[in-house]
């Protein structure tokens, strides 16, 4: 190729490049010639850009949980637990054990049914109400009764009964506000009210007593006076098997504050709720065989303010459809040993009398629940 042909080739290439640059400049000056966004892609021409723009704008796509809604549903589950009824020694003498008597009522495989209602505002504030009741008149375990008449260390009287549940009710009211919301995470604070109310009836099954001659002075609580003929755990099968000896119920009222940690996606959420508060406890103990107080025995009422009450629950939620959802919930509740006033009501002509802080109670339970919810309204 000679010099003229090479020059002609380079000149043609420069002309083509100039034409292309001029065309691009003209398109830039005339916006009506620019490339429009593809349909359904906002102002982007590929599907990746909206996702990036959305993240830069802040956060994940709006969740159905951020919309106002009202859910109502059915719950069923199983509870295990126990309630303790206590008579304290108020002699003022230091002892290794402050109990004069302790009864433990079991809750073993108690089946519960109930209704839950959850209203959630558009700002994720929420109001929740729960009511559950236990299947009554079914066996729920044992009741063990220990007494310390001679010594504060070794029990002197014992009996055991089979027990049936008379009733069981649980009620909850809780209002929550979102304190922190970041992405899928929420921190919520709340206030509410809780009630547990349980009743039992026993049937005597076994007993072992010590012969009572003279109670030893509490100044020497670890000894008993054999010279007077006291015998220790020498009488078995004292109580008639199969008879009803004690009816008992316990009710706990608790104002609560709560904190909830939750991770909420569009169709799944996981939350942990913790609540704590003081308790007002009221119990009624009917000893039918204490006939020294009258033909129908004697009633003991204990009233105490204390606690604290503490409960924790873990909850996993699945949004199956826009209207239908399924929850799994595990719960644990504990009431610290609480001591209070005792009122003694005989069934003869004697007047009721009030004791000091000699009566008390404690409580704990654990349970699992499955819930099915339906969204009301639009």
Q: Is a pLDDT exceeding 90 seen at residue 161?
A: yes
> Looking at beta carbons, which pairs linking 261-266 to residues 24 or more positions away fall under 8 Å?
261/185, 261/186, 261/187, 262/185, 262/186, 262/188, 263/184, 263/185, 263/186, 264/63, 264/65, 264/184, 264/186, 265/63, 265/184, 266/61, 266/63, 266/64, 266/65, 266/319
pLDDT at 117: 95
- 313 φ, ψ (degrees, to nearest 5): -140, 145
pLDDT at 1: 52
CB atoms closer than 10 angstroms to residue 42: 11
Of the candidate CATH numbers 2.40.128.90, 3.40.50.12160, 3.90.1170.30, 3.40.50.10610, the domain formed by 70-376 belongs to 2.40.128.90
**Residue 127 or 217, more confident:** 127
Q: Please, which pLDDT band fits residue 269 given cuts at 50, 70 and 90?
A: very high
Q: Please, which pLDDT band fits residue 222 given cuts at 50, 70 and 90?
A: very low
CB 197 within 8 A of CB 168: yes
pLDDT at 229: 52
Q: Please, which pLDDT band fits residue 279 given cuts at 50, 70 and 90?
A: very high
Q: Is a pLDDT exceeding 90 seen at residue 46?
A: no
The residue ranges of every structural domain in the chain are: 1-34, 70-376
pLDDT at 69: 83
- Alpha-carbon gap, residue 120 to 126, rounded angstroms: 4
State pLDDT tens for residues 317-369. 999 998 999 999 999 999 999 999 999 999 998 999 998 889 999 999 999 99
């Amino acid at each position: 190729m000679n010099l003229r042909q090479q020059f002609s080739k380079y000149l043609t290439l420069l002309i083509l490049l100039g034409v292309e640059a001029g065309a691009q400049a003209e398109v830039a000056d005339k916006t009506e010639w620019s490339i429009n966004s593809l349909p359904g892609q906002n102002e982007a021409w590929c599907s990746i850009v909206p996702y990036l723009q959305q993240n830069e704008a802040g956060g994940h796509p709006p969740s159905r949980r951020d919309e106002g809604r009202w859910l109502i549903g059915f719950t069923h589950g199983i509870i295990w637990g126990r309630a303790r009824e206590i008579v304290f020694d108020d002699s003022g003498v230091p002892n290794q054990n402050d109990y004069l008597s302790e009864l433990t009522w079991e809750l073993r495989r108690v089946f519960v049914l109930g209704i839950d209602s959850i209203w959630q505002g558009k700002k994720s504030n929420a109001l929740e109400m729960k009511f559950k009741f236990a299947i009554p008149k079914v066996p729920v375990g044992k009741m063990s009764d220990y007494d310390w008449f001679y010594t504060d260390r070794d029990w002197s009287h014992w009996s055991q009964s089979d027990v049936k549940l008379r009733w069981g009710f649980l009620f909850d009211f809780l209002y929550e506000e979102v304190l922190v919301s970041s992405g899928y995470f929420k921190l919520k604070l709340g206030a509410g009210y809780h009630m547990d109310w349980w009743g039992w009836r026993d049937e005597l099954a076994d007993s072992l007593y010590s012969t009572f001659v003279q109670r030893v002075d509490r100044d020497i609580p670890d000894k008993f006076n054999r010279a007077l003929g006291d015998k220790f755990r020498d009488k078995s099968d004292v109580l008639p098997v199969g008879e009803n000896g004690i009816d008992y119920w316990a009710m706990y009222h608790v104002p609560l504050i709560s904190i909830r940690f939750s991770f909420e996606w569009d169709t799944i959420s996981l939350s942990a709720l913790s609540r704590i508060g003081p308790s007002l406890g009221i119990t009624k103990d009917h000893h039918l065989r204490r006939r020294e107080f009258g033909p129908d025995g004697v009633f003991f009422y204990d009233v105490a303010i204390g606690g604290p009450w503490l409960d924790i629950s873990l909850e996993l939620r699945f949004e199956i459809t826009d209207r239908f959802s399924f929850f799994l919930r595990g719960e644990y509740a504990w009431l610290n040993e609480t001591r209070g006033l005792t009122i003694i009501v005989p069934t003869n002509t004697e007047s009721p009398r009030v004791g000091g802080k000699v009566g008390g109670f404690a409580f704990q339970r654990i349970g699992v629940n499955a819930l099915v919810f339906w969204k009301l309204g639009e």
